[in-house]
Amino acid sequence: MLVSGKEILKIAHERNFAIPAFNAGSGQLLEGVMRACENLNSPVIIAIHPDELSFLTDSFVDQVKYYANNTTLPVCIHLDHGATFEQVIHAIQLGFTSVMIDASHMDFEDNIEISKKVVEAAHAVDVSVEAELGTIGDTGDSIEGGVTEIIYTDPEVAKEFVTRTNVDSLAVAVGTAHGLYPENMKPKLKLELIDQIAEKIDVPLVLHGGSSNPDEEIKVAVTKGINKINISSDIKIAFYEQMKVVMENDRKELREPNVIFPSCIEATQKVAEEKINLFNSADKAKYYYK
Ligand SMILES: [Zn+2]
């Protein structure tokens, strides 16, 4: 069943777990993560970044909707890092049930202004809005971008931002970076900062750049008010590592997608299942049925 971001996050917020938001950059990745969620009875957010959408074309959203309408699992279709008002409206028109407006690189008042405008438009048609405050780092190899130096979210400022914009969830900068970390860069979450932010505001918090942070940290973050964790790099790497194995080992002439992709989909599923268990989201779909 297709649900909004607000609906899917509400129960995670009440019950202290995190919904996995997997970037479905292709139909094969979508299939892999949906199998994992079915297998573990997990609610799921299918995230699509504007760059992914322009590659996949708008028709892909209908494919995600098909999955959502043919499963009993709660499924939310989310625009990841919407950069402009136009991108957000386009996504709403296509049937996304949740949008992110990321104006975190703008100054505070401008971020508030555009986030507020998006909230007004999206809420008019029951679409939920995620905004971002502070700047999440960028390791230099991701489409989501970011900055090389993390500016941590200030709890007081977060409170003002949420009150003034009325956003449904907030992406916070607490020490993660988009993409994979180079060997000399050790990711470290400021766990106490999550506590401080969660104390001030009551909307679900979102963790971006959650790939390759230590599992132990992620596990603790989930108990502290992080209710959505974005996973992009980790599933894509599993997929392409397996694809390399297929290309190297298979002596036959390779051309059929149904020969090349099946084990890659399985590799995606495996990593997605690990994340679902880590986020404590397994078997949580049952809480969404009235
Ligand atoms: Zn992100």
How does pLDDT run across 21-79, given as a tens digit for each residue? 999 999 999 999 999 999 999 999 999 999 999 999 999 999 999 999 999 999 999 99
Rounded distance from Cα 72 to ligand 1 centre (Å): 27
Rounded distance from Cα 48 to ligand 1 centre (Å): 11
* 5-233+271-288 CATH, one of 3.40.50.11540, 2.60.40.1120, 3.10.20.90, 3.20.20.70: 3.20.20.70
Q: Spell out which residues have Cβ within 5 A of ligand 1, the ion.
A: 144, 208
Rounded distance from Cα 209 to ligand 1 centre (Å): 6
Rounded distance from Cα 144 to ligand 1 centre (Å): 5
CA atoms within 13 A on the CB side of 36: 28
Give me the count of residues in the chain.
290
Rounded distance from Cα 171 to ligand 1 centre (Å): 8
Where are the domains positioned within the chain? Answer: 5-233+271-288
CA distance 234 to 68: 23
How does pLDDT run across 134-189, given as a tens digit for each residue? 877 666 666 666 656 677 899 999 999 999 999 999 999 888 877 766 766 666 78
Catalytic position from the list 58, 62, 80, 168: 80
Higher pLDDT, 252 or 65: 65
Instruction: Respond yes or no: is residue 110 known to be catalytic.
Output: no
CA distance 12 to 280: 10
Task: Tell me the pLDDT band of 248, cut-offs 50, 70 and 90.
Answer: confident
